[in-house]
Structure 1
Amino acid sequence: MDICIDFDGTCVSHEFPDIGNDIGAVPVLKELVEKGHRLILFTMRSDRKKKKKVDGQEVIVEENVLSDAIRWFEENGIPLYGVQKNPTQRFWTSSPKAYGHLYIDDANLGCPLLDNDEGSQRPYVDWLRVREMLVEKGVL
């Protein structure tokens, strides 16, 4: 399966623009890849340059928050099949929506969340329950 994965609140806790804390995604994501599934990072993060005033001077500031998320996958030994798009979809559609068989996102209706962590202001994905659901569906 091609599986689209959100980042903030899904792979890590919500700390945007910083990388959030570990929430248990790494072992499940690695298990998905080991089973032959392909992961597509599908996030609102992006790399961009913007104008900003520093000491009265207008300067160009780079924000590489998408690159930071990609680096998180690399540092955790989790290969990505695609970033923001499915590499094969260009052959059959020009849609900007990444095509996947499954989407794991803290904003998905029905995605199991944890919201009892005093260190986080927003709920995030409950990866133990997600793994149980993936086993129940035969994905893992």
Structure 2
Amino acid sequence: MYICVDFDGTIVDHRYPGIGEPVPMAVTWLLRLQSCGARLILFTMRSDDPRFGTLLTDAVQYLESNGVKLFGVNCNPDQKEWTVSPKAYGHVYVDDSAFGCPLIMPKGFARPCVDWKKVGPQLEHLCLSRSW
């Protein structure tokens, strides 16, 4: 199962270009999903650019330092076999800006963020119940 996951507002609080506080339960659920076989793809607007710095690399390093192993970064390496589309292919996309995504507003956060207490179990159920 391919899961494309946004960064700001989904894994960390919106503090762009900085990295905000962790969204409650985000890393915990990403680790659980990866342990059940999900292939995690970081799908973010962050990029590395001489004008702005290493914003994408910083996000990748944040995840790696928390034990999250990414299958891809803004791309799905497996799709190169069947398409040249720049859109990363995933079975599911988790993004605080996605219509219908459950959100919470933790104290001190800049904006609402993904409610992983609701999203995590649903993704785990999908990961464990379907053959991808």
TM-score by length of 2: 0.90
Query: Deviation string for 1:83-131 (max 9, x for gaps)?
Result: 000001112111110000111111111111012x341221101111112
CA distance in 1, matches of 2:5, 2:119: 12
Is 2:3 the counterpart of 1:3? yes
Secondary structure, aligned partner of 1:40: strand
Match of 2:98 among 108, 123, 131: 108
2:48 matched to 1:75? no
How far the C-alpha of 1:69 sits from its partner, in A, is 0.3
Tell me which residue corresponds to 1:22: 22
1:76 deviation in Å?
Answer: 0.3
Q: Which runs of 4+ in 1 moved over 4 A?
A: none
Structure with higher strand content:
1
Residue 127 of structure 2 aligns with which residue?
A: 139
Q: Provide the C-alpha distance between the structure 2 equivalents of 1:134 and 1:3, rounded to a whole number of angstroms.
A: 9
Unpaired runs of 5+ residues, structure 2, are none
TM norm structure 1: 0.85
User: Amino acid of the residue matched to residue 90 of structure 2?
Assistant: G
Aligned residue in 2 for 1:92: 82
Q: Work out the CA distance in 2 between the residues paired with 1:65 and 1:3.
A: 21
Aligned residues with identical type, % of pairs: 51
RMSD: 1.3
Correspondences of 1:57-72 after superposition (within 5 Å): 63-72=53-62
Number of aligned positions between the proteins: 127
Structure 1 or 2, whichever has the larger Rg, is: 1
Distance 2:121 2:80 in 1: 33
Aligned to 2:43: 42
